[in-house]
Amino acid sequence: MTRIDAKFAELASAGKKAFVTYVMAGDPDYDTSLEVVKGLPAAGVDIIELGLPFTDPMADGPTIQLAGQRALEAGQTLKKTLALAAAFRTGDDTTPIVLMGYYNPIYNHGVEAFLRDAREAGIDGLIVVDLPPEEDEELCIPAQKAGLNFIRLATPTTDDARLPKVLENTSGFVYYVSITGITGAAAPEAGDVAPEVARIKSQTDLPIIVGFGIRTPEMSEGIARIADGAVVGSAIVSEIAAGKPVAEVLDFVRSLAEGAHRA
Amino acid sequence: MTEEFLNSFMTGPDERGRFGDFGGRFVSETLMPLILELEKQYEHAKTDDSFWAEMNDLWTHYVGRPSPLYHADRLTAHLGGAKIYMKRDELNHTGAHKINNVLGQIILARRMGKTRIIAETGAGQHGVATATVCAKFGLKCVVYMGAHDVERQAPNVFRMKLLGAEVVSVTSGRGTLKDAMNDALRDWVTNVRDTFYCIGTVAGPHPYPAMVRDFQTIIGKEAREQMQAREGRLPDTIIAAIGGGSNAMGLFYPFLDDKSVNIIGVEAGGKGVNDKMEHCASLTGGRPGVLHGNRTYLLQDDDGQILEGYSISAGLDYPGIGPEHSWLHEIGRAKYVSVTDKEALAAFQLCCETEGIIPALEPSHALAHVIKIAPELPEDHIICMNMCGRGDKDIFTVARHLGFEMGGH
């Protein structure tokens, strides 16, 4: 059982929905982002998605892309991102960390070495945007063998015929992308998302977490109500981009978490 | 894998879209169903005579194919060695080889019921070709172009606008061709139902590298037949410039199984292929990685972050290369070299002066390598280089480099 599985078991027994946040590692710099990440569990975050900066984030909108650029300009690398996770782990041994990014920095590091280093750093799962099931041999299967969850994105274009393939090697949870589009773009309608969540639920026992376009405590609550949890990324990254003090960023996170936990 | 284990170099890609270890389908889940559908539709069209009948009709009457195979006799005499032929794809409608591929993709898009076409462009040649064919068929066209390229390729931007296309100046990232491709992919992810992404080179997720190659193969097929008719034999060496590598793949592919034919791809060496990375030579100065849907050689740093290429030629200024070239490089079937901006400029001028042909800066790179090797080769050695584009679009850039003031620009 990974920390992710344990977290969902704990939430289920408490009758709570999961609140998941995304922040970019190293944005705007290593120390500030470590301070933000360290503060997330106390602000009500159940699972942390830690963005791995990449120069060419094809599935992300401008907010996440700029966050990656700020991080890279401040000297963030894959190694430093793993170091950041390890530094977080020294003070928190239960909050799951999911590393989210693109394949090239991982491929460049070497898959075997990466899986070993990620495990040692206390990473629990991976979301690699540009690795669909068709490329499972690259990283998904080795990651599962190494004891890491491989969390897949399901999208509105994933039809019923394709869904089993997407779910087959997924573990931890399923991340449902609520819109066709990039991160931080159009907002989803809970009414449109509910049938989609039900459709995926009919084919898996894994928790379904919904993200893309969620910006407010109300939206967080509305989405968490119809799924097993909500993810917020760009809205939080925007607060960091605006140069808000860490305490204010965490206050905003707390308001979103309370929304999701009301559901 | 080495040569003797292969019966043919023309069987790729495999069912996973791989050429050896290169290629593949490294895209987000939102796009995956779209590229699977595209693959299915393309596989169907490929064996459909009516599809090729439509292509051939347009190639003949709209593009002006076949393009001539021209014996560059004064250049040959000037260099005093190998006999040099040019495959004149710069005479195509819109001035480059790009339209060969665009026609194929847009006929396919129409068959798939898509009404909106998006494209990325560097030098603007693919953008112009796409805008042209969209105008011809009355389709909405959006072209993504890096802000830096919009500036240095102003004539092509205006051409696209005249043809009714919307040109989006891309400022995300560093505002270059790779960023234009990122933004085109973002558009596609957002507009999945009605939009067809017309990729301009032999890169991207499967089936694009194979599909674009197949459409560009008309270049090599014609060259082969024309050379047989002119010389009664195949060329000894074929040479083409490489950015993403579509004109090169189009020329090379029909010759891959002809063991007697030397195949040379010429990358943009910019200011020199060294650790300052002021070049676009992915094969000679990069290493394998994953970007824009495929595994291939890339310019990247120690952390796997993609680097900006540099070249005088906007059309070669891309940090990657088509995966089939990566494979041909690794198995040794084709040889890849680089030439610098300076060498390309010298070739540009020599071509103007000896042949009365103003070449684009892209094929000027291929020509620069011809200039290097031809004098050392015997007179009965036949070289065929791909003159894949004309230089009208580049005269401002060249003027600037030669210190010539152009009024009003």
Say if residue B160's pLDDT is above 50.
yes
d(CA A67, CA A63): 6
Q: Taking residues A193-202, what's their average pLDDT?
A: 95
**Residue ending a domain, choose from B192, B212, B232:** B212
CB-CB under 8 Å, B178 with A134: no
Tell whether B237 and B376 lie within a shared domain.
yes
Q: Which domain holds residue B293?
A: 65-95+217-401
Q: What is the pLDDT of residues B305-323, one digit of tens each?
A: 999 888 888 888 889 999 9
Which structure tokens are listed for B337?
Answer: 């070299």
Tell whether B352 and B313 lie within a shared domain.
yes
Exactly one of A27, A60, A117, A221 is catalytic; which is it?
Answer: A60
d(CA A253, CA A108): 33
d(CA B125, CA B137): 19
Q: How far is B335 from chain A (nearest CA, A)?
A: 25
**What's the confidence (pLDDT) of residue A52?**
98
Indicate whether B409 belongs to any domain.
no
Confidence of residue B4 (pLDDT cuts 50, 70, 90): low
**What's the confidence (pLDDT) of residue A189?**
80
Number of neighbouring beta carbons within 10 Å of residue A219: 21
Confidence of residue B297 (pLDDT cuts 50, 70, 90): very high
The SS3 assignment for A178 reads coil
User: Percent of chain B at pLDDT above 90?
Assistant: 87
Q: What is the pLDDT of residues A36-75, one digit of tens each?
A: 999 999 999 999 999 999 999 999 999 999 999 999 999 9
Across A79-83, A181-185, B307-311, least confident range: A181-185
Q: Sketch out chain A's domains with CATH numbers.
A: 3-262 (3.20.20.70)
CB-CB under 8 Å, A103 with B290: yes
Contacts of A53 in chain B (CB under 8 A): 305
Q: What is the pLDDT of residues B176-206, one digit of tens each?
A: 899 999 999 999 999 999 999 999 999 999 9
Tell whether B335 and B189 lie within a shared domain.
no
Residue of B nearest to A57 (CA): B182
Which structure tokens are listed for A261?
Answer: 């936990």
**What's the confidence (pLDDT) of residue B407?**
63
Q: Does A59 touch chain B (CB under 8 A)?
A: yes
d(CA B247, CA B215): 10
Q: Taking residues B50-66, what's their average pLDDT?
A: 98
Nearest residue, CB atoms, A107 vs list B29, B189, B290? B290
Tell whether B263 and B117 lie within a shared domain.
no
**Residue ending a domain, choose from B179, B212, B245:** B212
Nearest residue, CB atoms, A180 vs list B189, B302, B303? B189
The SS3 assignment for A139 reads coil
Torsion sign over Cα A61, A62, A63, A69: positive
Contacts of A129 in chain B (CB under 8 A): 28
Selected residues 185-244 of chain B with any CB under 8 Å from a CB in chain A:
185-186, 189-192
Total domain count for chain B?
A: 2
**B27 and B35 Cβ atoms separated by less than 8 Å:** yes
CATH classification at residue B120: 3.40.50.1100
Say if residue A186's pLDDT is above 90.
no
Indicate whether B122 belongs to any domain.
yes
**What's the confidence (pLDDT) of residue B409?**
45
Q: What is the pLDDT of residues B108-127, one digit of tens each?
A: 999 999 999 999 998 899 99
Q: Taking residues A130-153, what's their average pLDDT?
A: 97
Q: What is the mean pLDDT of chain A?
A: 96
ipTM value greater than 0.90: yes
Helix (H) or strand (E) run with residue A231 in it: strand A229-232
Indicate whether B13 belongs to any domain.
no
Q: Does B369 touch chain A (CB under 8 A)?
A: no
Helix (H) or strand (E) run with residue A237 in it: helix A234-241
Q: Which segments of B49-206 are extended strands (E)?
A: 69-71, 83-87, 116-121, 140-146, 166-170, 195-197
**Residue A60 annotated in active site:** yes
| Sole residue written with tokens 């430093």 | A80
Contacts of A67 in chain B (CB under 8 A): none
**What's the confidence (pLDDT) of residue B138?**
98
Tell whether B156 and B28 lie within a shared domain.
yes
Instruction: Supply the pTM of this predicted model.
Output: 0.96
**What's the confidence (pLDDT) of residue B254?**
98
| Order of strands, sheet of B237-242, starting from the edge strand that comes earlier in the sequence | B69-71, B83-87, B382-386, B237-242, B262-268, B335-339
CB-CB under 8 Å, A135 with B26: yes
**Residue ending a domain, choose from B161, B178, B212:** B212
Say if residue B3's pLDDT is above 70.
no
Q: What is the mean pLDDT of chain B?
A: 95
Confidence of residue B1 (pLDDT cuts 50, 70, 90): very low
Confidence of residue A123 (pLDDT cuts 50, 70, 90): very high
Tell whether B308 and B175 lie within a shared domain.
no
Q: Does A181 touch chain B (CB under 8 A)?
A: yes
**What's the confidence (pLDDT) of residue B5?**
58
Confidence of residue B151 (pLDDT cuts 50, 70, 90): confident
Say if residue A185's pLDDT is above 80.
no
Say if residue B155's pLDDT is above 90.
no
